[in-house]
Chains A and B, each alone.
Chain A
Amino acid sequence: MLEVNQISKAFGGIKAVSGCSMSVERGSITGLIGPNGSGKTTLFNMITGFYPPDSGSILLNNQPIQNLLPSQICHRGIGRTFQITRLFWKMTVLENMIVPVRHTGWRTLFSQGVKKHEEERAMGLLDLVGLTQYSDEEALKLSFGQQKLVEFAAILMSDPDLILLDEPAGGVNPVMIEKIMGLVEDLNQQGKTFLVVEHNMRLVMELCQHIIVLDHGQKIAEGKPAAIQNNPIVLEAYLGSTNHAGA
């Protein structure tokens, strides 16, 4: 469903991503791993339109999306979370859920901000993550883990087909990690496709059906979790080359 062809992005002299190609199958949970600075987040930002790639193309359902605005890409059906959770801090949890609701046309733009049926849907999703009782609280009053869940639930309001999760388990306690993994699996069963950046290897290996490994802005390996775990190139990228490891 998503195809990335030979894309590159440099910041000044630093090549964050260079000539990287990868694809995400519809209905899959694909993992994207690699050491710090390997270009995972830059790749995310290019897919979601935050950085225009220097070269290469990105196709969503065979349509090029590399020159679209982030908002347009969101309307095409890609939702994302951020590595460091981003919410509208001084808005209530419910408002955070309502902002992503997709709407078109001038009449709707000036219609009631929070509609009854939208509120019901938002409460349903908040129920899914167990946060209904906080719907009227300001987002910044929630705990770190709860904020992650709100961000995740809010993405679902725009009903994306492909969901990009940037470190969903970062800084989250084990119970919450289980909860997030359960949610991702359930949603995957319902037909949502996921691309997940994560450093928690247990989560990646358990959750993902397919894994792509980046290093220095290039894809160095891909395959099933078991194969990746034993791939010498991947081990070298993470742990350094064998001579160094021996020293």
Chain B
Amino acid sequence: MKRLLSSNGLWIGIALLALLIFPLIQRSQYYQHVMVMTMMAAVLASSWNILGGYAGYTSLGHAAFFGLGGYLVALAHNYFGWHPFVSTWFLGFVVLGVALVLGWISLRTHGSAFVVVTIAMVFIFRLVALNLSNITNGARGLTQPRPGWGGVPWSPEFIKVPFHYIMLILLCITIFASWRIRQSKFGLGLIAIREDEGKAEAVGINTMLYKVLAFGFSAYFMGVAGGIYSYFFTYIDPQFIFDVFTGVTMVLIAILGGRGTLWGPVLGAFIMEPLGNWVIGTFGGTQIHLTIFGGVLLVVMLFMPQGILPTLSDAIRQRKKAGMVKAPSP
């Protein structure tokens, strides 16, 4: 923790403070909503990054775990009355367990085969949710009671605020976990797997174990976010929550910001999510935001193939180096 703060402490402090006071100074429901969605996008991209960025396994199917978390939390709320803000943290572990099993199966494939298997995962989950209609209510979806606490619903002016703070907590935990993993032996092993899996195995890394664990961890935060999301909207249906586009978006956000870096996915989310909302707000609910998303990604890939953050930090390092070389000369 100390080391995380010592290197970037000032910036983290400013960002955290801004996010803490955001709902107090920004009273607009719309902007509060966008901020919740932005932080959620950052959570999704960061947790995807644990597997896709560090270990280099591109999953386009992590929406499956997002949706599973959403369904588990909604069902637990409706059947047992468990409050989503509490239950989502525990039900996330169920998602993790499911992910360990699915990871153990799917991680036998590599490269594009793995991508296809993960996409299939989303469709399988959607089919199950559609057809287990006596539990999941099928295509009609699940509705939860209006958000509140202790039987008292929150007022419309206040309703986004609790979601803002719980999403902020989740974002902090996700970033901390991602940082902790990156610093550990485990993280070093994941990077080694990304670089050369066979070599990693040859020098004594149990690559299957590492990959499956990374798969599970990344699914946990997905599941928790899905749980909060289902309560935020109070309604979910299989089409809506098991959406391949959700899985693709988090990947594009991570790539945009800088895949495999700690802060890249967060940066990508804080650029793309507000931009997307602004475009929808300005041009209406056409699919133009997808076009613009694609355009931005194209430009970034052309000029910063590693993503925004690695390119910027490289440039800064180069300048520092140049400065250091110049300094001794008379």
Contacts and interface: CB of A to CB of B under 8 A. Distances in A.
A90 B192 CA distance: 9
B187 A113 contact: yes
Interface in A78-108: 79-80, 82, 86-91, 95, 98-100, 102-103, 108
Interface in B183-214: 183-189, 191-192, 195-196, 198-207
Contacts of B191: 88, 91, 95
Contacts of B202: 48, 50, 70-71, 74, 80, 82, 86
A102 B185 CA distance: 10
A79 B187 CA distance: 22
Contact of B199 (A87, A103, A109, A112): A87
A77 B207 CA distance: 18
A131 B271 CA distance: 42
Nearest to B260: A90
A99 B206 contact: no
A33 interface: no
Contacts of A16: none
A99 B185 CA distance: 8
A112 B184 contact: yes
B4 to A, nearest CB: 13
B183 A99 contact: no
B187 A99 contact: no
Interface string B91-122: 00000000000000000000000000000000
A75 B206 CA distance: 10
| A interface: dominant SS | loop
Nearest to B207: A71
A99 B202 CA distance: 11
Nearest to B203: A100
B182 to A, nearest CB: 8
A92 to B, nearest CB: 11
A8 interface: no
Contact of B204 (A86, A95, A102): A102
A38 interface: no
Nearest to A100: B203
A239 interface: no
A110 to B, nearest CB: 5
Contacts of B185: 103, 108-113
B201 A71 contact: yes
B213 to A, nearest CB: 8
A81 B200 CA distance: 12
A155 interface: yes
Contacts of B146: none
A100 B204 contact: yes
Interface in B288-324: none
Contacts of B189: 99
Given A87-B196, A88-B195, A90-B195, A99 B203 contact: yes
B33 interface: no
Given A71-B204, A71-B206, A88 B184 contact: no
B83 interface: no
Contacts of A82: 199, 202
Given A71-B202, A86-B202, A102-B204, 14 more contacts: A48-B202, A70-B201, A71-B204, A71-B205, A79-B203, A82-B199, A88-B192, A99-B192, A100-B203, A108-B185, A110-B180, A111-B185, A158-B203, A158-B204
Interface of A: 48, 50, 69-72, 74-75, 79-80, 82, 86-91, 95, 98-100, 102-103, 108-114, 154-155, 158
